Amino acid sequence: MESDLTPDPAVRWGTLPNGLRYAILPNAEPKGRVSLRLLVSVGSLHERDDERGLAHFIEHMAFRGTRTHPAGSIVTALQRLGIGMGPDNTAFTSHNYTIYHLELPDTGETSLRDALKVFREYADGITFETEQIERERGVIVSEKDTRNTPFARAGEAAMAFLWPDSLQVRRSPIGREEAVRTFTREQFVSFYDAWYRPERMAVLVVGDLAVEPAEAAIQQEFATLAARGPARPEPEAIVPSSVAPPNIRVFVDPGLVGLNLALQRPLHVPRTADTHASRVRELHQALAFGMFRQRLDAAAHRPGSSFLAPHAGISFPILEWQVAEAGVSGKIDNWQAAARELEQEHRRALFFGFTASELATAKAMFQTIHDQSVRSAATRSSQGLAGQLATTLLTGEVFASPATIQADVARELAATTLEECRIAFRMAWGNGSTHVLASANPVFNITPVELAAVLNTSRNTEVQPPADAGEIKFAYTDFGPASPLVRENHVPDLDVRLAEFANGVRLNHKETTFEADFVEVHVRVGLGQLSQPPNKPGLDLLAEAALMQGGLLKHSAQDVKTLLASRAVSVAFRVESDAFEFSGHCARRELVLCLQLITAYLNEAAYRSESLVEAQGWFNSMLASLAASPGGPIRMSAPREIVGGDRRFGIANAPEFYANDLRTLARWLDEGFDRAPIELSIVGDVPWSEAAGAVGKTLGALPKRKPRVESLRNSAVSFVSPPAETQVYGTDPSLKQAALAWYWPVPDLADNVQQERRCHFLAGVVGERLRAKLREELGAAYAPTADFVATDGFPEYNYFLVYAEVEPSRAQQTAQILKREATALRTEGITEDEFLRAREPFLNQWRSHLRTNGYWGHTVLRDAQQRPQRLVSARNRATDTAAITREEIQSLAHRHLDPARGFFFVAEPAPAHFWGRK
């Protein structure tokens, strides 16, 4: 690494005599855990014409069999160590690298050495058993079909538009289906031996451990690693030498909604040393695009705007190439206005640059990012740091501490001028025409010539310099006299405080050190879905999409975004099953502002008309995504079908959603917020006195709250008797997969946390059984899942859900396997090995929750005074989960996984099969 930036001295870098590199970084969070990565600098760009998809396939085969772990036993061996398949044990292949992940549940030397032995097996011990190759072909095809979404196809079209002849376009990591179905074992071995070489590998270890033992373990395990065959030459033209001439392309796909229009400018940026000068240039560019993005966002929120969801920035989709892009989304029948607005705002920025207030906001935003990075450096996650180390090895950038990075550009950030930003913006866009890409639904039958005519006509419209909006002063800082505490209770064994203010607001607090300088806030008010009018399905979706987009009476939504751009605070809103919930994540110094925002939305939400336009655009995109998904109809309809068509559940259809308006929404939310009971949790790096003081002068200053009264009538839910026939939905004939889902009701949970934990455990057992049968043995499904869903507020509405996506030709076979395995779990039981392999990852995952603000803030404290059993559950969580027995899980399986009591749903193209009775 050639740089004038000082590398982080905490990292121990090393290179073995065989060329393998390693990096070790001690890190405190998560406590008692270690993240490992094996990085191999080979990807789809290194494939020959007849090997397209082979690098990715080899990554899959690592889990299928190695020298000492044949026939997939490496997965089961790791499970016995507490390393679950998926989040703790996974891999990824890109154009130019492959990376394997392991998350260790402890810091013992034995665990570390066992994990390094697994990496060594990946490095030179994959066996490529013929039978396992055959089984994995279908899994790869299933993954390919799963990832073949309209948005992925639009992304591929964008790459082909700019670099039509590049290796990156011709070498998608997922590969070609016909090649995946025909690769020979000899091809696997040839590619593996040529590219999986020590000099192309790095081992990264980050976590709560000492450097010297880890370094000794790496050296001992990998010192003897050697190449098994001659190296192949590095592919030619791995970096495209040129880009297609500027042009206009219209890409259409039936899965897209509306129009996305983008201006693009590719620029060749040869790889150079990571120097101070290059980082300052990048800073100026980032400031410029940040200001432009804010300006487009403001334009999108103006009444009568022709577009929404704007985006602008710099991306690096191909080695040594950057792309400047600015884009908007809009309705197809309004495409001309959207094209004109985008062209003119782009030209305005090129000609006149930016304003003083825009630059002040952008600088403050970058300063906040740097400050927060320094403040929270001590509790960065090991997983994130491992990824950053991998990036430095791939790019040649320096891995430096946040304090070093901040100091490196601090003076230049303060001194950056408007002219420097304007120059940086213009340099990113270069001279001459841009590329123009329109991605749309086929209803958009406009030709490139017609689009060019509109853009060229727009260029004849004179644009004026941007007006300086000036500084925005936040108007919601005084809500009246602060409310005193009337009750405070410290729970010493959990170190939490439960308190109540004179106006009835309840506060639950826990100070933690899991995330330095960060605080998590959850504010629950009213009854949420329990209060939703039964004849207004979709009103909850409209609330989530429109409330905050409508802004406040004294500030538009864009004003709020501008205010928050330079502050380390974010606020979101959700309609939960039994409450409306605002959630906030902020720096400690921003806690008051976070609570001020939430209090302002409770008091003075504005419901501006543009919020309805944005909400409808979001809903249309969601419907399009569901329509392009094999299981979309199941997600929409099955949750309501199992309770007799109760429209409070599932996802509203288009007529239902569009029947709601802002007046109806405002009436529902205003009634739900007005003097309604409030209970909130504040968890994080903030002491009790500071948290209580912030609440007292915000939520505590509101009028007296009414007592909470549960709506028993609205909480009633009844599962209907399952129909004898399979419920079949037809999907888009162009889809290549069918979806299968099986719902088993659990109406007798009765807020029993111990029982709920065991239901989650059983779901893990079922999921592992399905993975083994559908993926490992049948090779039919990429990611079958099993979940348990429990619903607060609706105590009877709980269920197990098994879900899989497979080729339509294998749907009925898969359904038979699902039924067979469910029956087997009930009648033949769970084996001891199966139980233990599920138990260790389950216990490790649940233990890890105890050191997260999310667990304490959301799971335990958000309504701990309304539901005191939350505290009891927190106390016995570790002991109770450790006490789960195989007999208990077997009893649950026998009681609930009865095929005759389940609801079976199928969604498939056409549909292609006769299903008949379940």
Question: What per-residue confidence (pLDDT) applies to 914?
Answer: 64
Predicted local confidence at residue 89, as pLDDT: 84
- Record the tokens describing residue 799, joined without a space: 């269920």
Strands 34-40 and 738-745: unpaired
Average confidence (pLDDT) over 780-793: 87
Q: For residues 727 and 724, what is the distance between their CA atoms, to the nearest angstrom?
A: 9
- Reported as a single tens digit per residue, the pLDDT across 416-430 is 999 999 999 999 999
- The predicted pLDDT at position 354 comes to 96
Reading the block at residue 71, the tokens are 């026939």
pLDDT of 503 over the 60 cut: yes
Q: What was the pLDDT predicted at 701?
A: 96
pLDDT at site 744: 95
Quick one: DSSP state of residue 777?
Answer: I
What is the per-residue DSSP string for 233-257?
Answer: PPPTTSS-S--PPS-EEEEE-TT--
Cβ atoms of residues 335 and 444 within 8 Å:
yes
3-state secondary structure 800-852: EEEEEEECHHHHHHHHHHHHHHHHHHHHCCCCHHHHHHHHHHHHHHHHHHCCC
Question: pLDDT over 70 for what percent of the chain?
Answer: 98
Q: In the structure encoding, which two tokens stand for residue 496, read together?
A: 């939490």
Using CA atoms, how far residue 185 sits from 633, 780, 844, in Å, is: 40, 20, 37
- Using the predicted structure, report yes or no on whether residue 916 has a pLDDT greater than 90: no
The answer, yes or no, to whether residue 844 has pLDDT greater than 90, is no
* Cα 200–Cα 204–Cα 205 angle in degrees, nearest 5: 160
* Residue 852 in this model has a pLDDT that exceeds 70: yes
pLDDT tens digits for 527-584? 999 999 989 999 999 999 999 999 999 999 989 988 888 899 999 999 999 999 999 9
More confident residue, 696 or 709: 696
Number of Cβ within 10 Å of residue 653's Cβ equals 14
Whether 236 shows a pLDDT value over 90: the answer reads no
Q: How confident is the model at residue 713 (pLDDT cuts 50, 70, 90)?
A: low
Rg of the chain over all Cα atoms, to the nearest angstrom: 29
CA distance linking residue 375 with residue 368, whole number of Å:
10
% of the chain exceeding 90 in pLDDT: 73
* pLDDT, mean over the chain: 92
What confidence tier does 708 reach under pLDDT thresholds 50, 70, 90? Answer: confident
pLDDT category at 381 given cuts 50, 70, 90 is very high
Nearest to 509 by CA among 524, 522, 498: 498
Query: Please, what is the end-to-end C-alpha distance for the chain in angstroms?
Result: 62
Residue 711 has pLDDT above 70, yes or no: no
Place of tokens 């997983």: 383
Which token pair is 147?
């990832």
> Quick one: pLDDT at residue 915?
64
Q: Can you give the pLDDT at residue 782?
A: 78
Two tokens, residue 477:
């800082």
pLDDT for 750: 66
Structure tokens at 558: 């864009």
Q: What is the 3-state secondary structure (H, E, C) of 599-649?
A: HHHHHHECCCHHHHHHHHHHHHHHHHHHHCCCCHHHHHHHHHHCCCCCCCC
**pLDDT tens digits along 244-273:** 999 999 999 988 888 999 999 999 998 888
Is the pLDDT at 726 greater than 80? The verdict is: yes
Tell me, what's the pLDDT at 464?
94
Tokens standing for 555?
């500030």
Pairing of strands 496-501, 485-491: antiparallel
- The answer, as to whether pTM is greater than 0.85, is yes
Kindly report the backbone phi and psi dihedral angles of residue 309, in degrees, each rounded to the nearest multiple of 5, phi listed first. 50, 55
Identify the bridge partners of residue 804 per DSSP, sorted by sequence position. 740
Pinpoint the alpha helices (H) of 716-752: none
List, in order, residues 6 or more apart from 454 with CB less than 8 Å away: 336, 339, 340
Q: What strand order describes the sheet that includes 308-318?
A: 248-252, 435-440, 259-268, 321-330, 308-318
* pLDDT tens digits for range 64-112: 999 999 888 888 888 887 887 777 788 999 999 999 999 998 888 899 9
